[in-house]
Amino acid sequence: MPAKVVGVEDVLKGLSFFDDDMYNRIKTVIGPLMRDVESTAKSYVPGNSEMLSGWSKPISSDIKYRPFPKYDSAMVRGGIGYKEGQNKKFKNGFQVENYVYNVSAAGRIYETAGRVNPQGRAPFTSINEGGGVVAYEKEQTRKTRSRSTRSYNSNNPFAGYQFVTSLETLTSQPKLPGMRSGTRKTKGRLIYKAWAKKSPGIYQEIVNTINTKAIDFNKATEVTRAA
């Protein structure tokens, strides 16, 4: 008895269905995974007692300048969320976009502080013979300062160093097969740390989804010859 032969037209129709089904499958899979990144990032938010005491103190209402954002763990945690982006289909493919965000000012500072200067902004020019750091005094003139510290004007010249080194070390992204290595802009302590932990599993789930659908499609559209 002749075997069924699937024609070219049927295969093309199958490809169209393949795109639609793959789009829906990936949307279904990736949503819960990204929400897991969100909840993991929230779990990394330190309590107020874990920060330098001055950062979590109430801000005086008498100041006449824009203050450094006060740290409040509840606000930082509440500023982390998940959102579905522009998920849409094209003629030759589709886009599935999901992201976890961190919108509180203190949360963004905690997330990224030290990316450019791992030990804070340099307040010194030389090292003593005994290994001690020599800090600039406020009274030093602009002319005598180096370019890197020329505009430095703080009552505590080691404030940047003390602030950054008191925080948790920044987490870098893992190297994944077929993916570019992360840059300093992908280092962080909250959502970037959560992504570093969860991304290998997320990418693997997406690959598994694609492979499963491809296998099902190949079986459904297999072309055989008549006996």
Q: What is the pLDDT of residues 205-215, one digit of tens each?
A: 988 888 887 77
Phi, psi of 190 (to 5 degrees): -125, -90
Dist CA 104 CA 131 (whole Å): 39
Instruction: Please check whether residue 52 is in contact with residue 166, taking contact to mean a CB–CB distance below 8 angstroms.
Output: yes
Residue bearing tokens 């976009």:
97
pLDDT digits (tens, 9 = 90+) for 131-186: 554 444 444 444 444 554 455 555 666 777 888 888 999 999 988 877 777 788 89
Dist CA 157 CA 163 (whole Å): 11
pLDDT digits (tens, 9 = 90+) for 6-50: 444 544 454 455 567 777 888 888 899 999 999 999 999 999 999
**Domains of the chain, residue spans:** 8-113+170-220, 121-166
The first and second tokens of residue 81, run together, are 């969320």
Cα distances (Å, whole numbers) of residue 180 to 173, 175, 194, 219: 10, 7, 18, 33
Asked whether the predicted pLDDT for residue 96 surpasses 60, the reply is yes
Dist CA 166 CA 168 (whole Å): 7
